[in-house]
Amino acid sequence: MTLEIITANALNPFRHGFFTRKGGASSGVFAGLNCGTGSSDQSEMVSINRRRVADAMRVSPDHLVTVHQVHSADVVTVSGPLSGDTPRADGLVSNISGLALAVLTADCQPVLFADRRAGVVGAAHAGWRGALDGVLERTVEAMETLGATPANIRAVIGPSISQRAYEVGPEFLDTFLADDPGNARFFAGSAGDRVHFDLPAFGLHRLRQAGVEAEWTRHCTYSDPERFYSYRRATHAREADYGRLISVIRL
């Protein structure tokens, strides 16, 4: 099956893509393009899937760079293939040609960044915790150290869980209100004391506050099982594990 790659004009001319689960070698609950080395999928299948992504991005597999994601606001500057222990971080930036920066998600926001004038790109994994703690702003700041300027940076949020599928409890809401009472705008009422959180809208807000022009592809991971993996959907279905989508950008 052919790979399906979602792209955005805002990130051109850099080669990039939000890969769906289509076109992979994995089977079972991972059926498709599972690129998560942290999943319980067969490592050989994950390696095959990542090679297919590298081929699509026209880089060697060792130039498809990922980090050990930990829902943090930490960002690394990448100057070459990573060897040894993978850095624990949730954002990557680079100005080196031939390196493909990648993040893995399964409901969280994959965010790709590009400053075409400065020749700087970035990628961030932004779940609610990382977004609240500032991973998006930290990625922009790291790009600035390489010569980018916020006004010239374009950011695109890829397939993420949408508000209608993201029901949370009152303690979750309280965490956001304690940070900024204005965050109430990103929540809508549900049954009882439950509310629905708009993660992509929150991400767009934080990016725009950082001076970056941003958009969301408007794909919901939870609502489209044929195309996307979803941690929350897998949890509701009581599945043993779930696949990870990959999103990539390169110079």
Residue whose structure tokens are 């399964």 = 106
190 pLDDT more than 80: no
Structure tokens at 18: 């939000």
**Residue 74 confidence (pLDDT):** 98
pLDDT digits (tens, 9 = 90+) for 15-46: 999 999 999 999 999 999 999 998 999 999 99
**Residue 165 confidence (pLDDT):** 97
Averaged pLDDT for residues 155-179: 97
With a CB cutoff of 8 Å and minimum separation 6, the contacts of 129 are: 71
Which candidate, 42, 130, 43, 62, places its Cα nearest to that of 102? 62
104 membership: H or E segment, kind and range: strand 100-105
For residue 100, tell me if it sits in a domain.
Answer: yes
Number of domains in the chain: 1
pLDDT digits (tens, 9 = 90+) for 62-116: 999 999 999 999 999 999 888 777 899 999 999 999 999 999 999 999 999 999 9
**Residue 192 confidence (pLDDT):** 80
**Residue 83 confidence (pLDDT):** 75
What is the side-by-side order of every strand in the sheet holding 245-250? Answer: 5-6, 15-19, 245-250, 100-105, 64-65
Q: Report the mean per-residue pLDDT for the chain.
A: 96
**Residue 33 confidence (pLDDT):** 98
Backbone angles phi, psi at 53, to 5 degrees: -65, -45
For residue 56, tell me if it sits in a domain.
Answer: yes
Pairwise CA distance, residues 101 & 35, whole Å: 14
For residue 135, tell me if it sits in a domain.
Answer: yes
pLDDT digits (tens, 9 = 90+) for 129-158: 999 999 999 999 999 999 999 999 999 999
For residue 25, tell me if it sits in a domain.
Answer: yes
Pairwise CA distance, residues 250 & 95, whole Å: 9
Look up the pTM and report it.
Answer: 0.96
> Residue 11: which domain range?
5-162+198-250
For residue 180, tell me if it sits in a domain.
Answer: no
**Residue 246 confidence (pLDDT):** 98
**Residue 184 confidence (pLDDT):** 96
**Residue 111 confidence (pLDDT):** 98
State CA 178 to chain mean position distance. Answer: 25
State CA 98 to chain mean position distance. Answer: 20
DSSP 223: T
Whether 247 contacts 158, CB under 8 Å: yes
Backbone angles phi, psi at 112, to 5 degrees: -110, 140
**Residue 15 confidence (pLDDT):** 98
Using CA atoms of 155, 158, 164, 165 in order, give the dihedral in degrees to the nearest 10.
-140
Residue 90 belongs to domain with CATH number: 3.60.140.10
Which candidate, 113, 67, 122, places its Cα nearest to that of 94? 122
pLDDT digits (tens, 9 = 90+) for 214-235: 999 999 999 999 999 999 999 9
For residue 189, tell me if it sits in a domain.
Answer: no
Angle between helices 199-209 and 135-144 (to 10 degrees): 30
For residue 175, tell me if it sits in a domain.
Answer: no
160 pLDDT more than 80: yes
For residue 179, tell me if it sits in a domain.
Answer: no
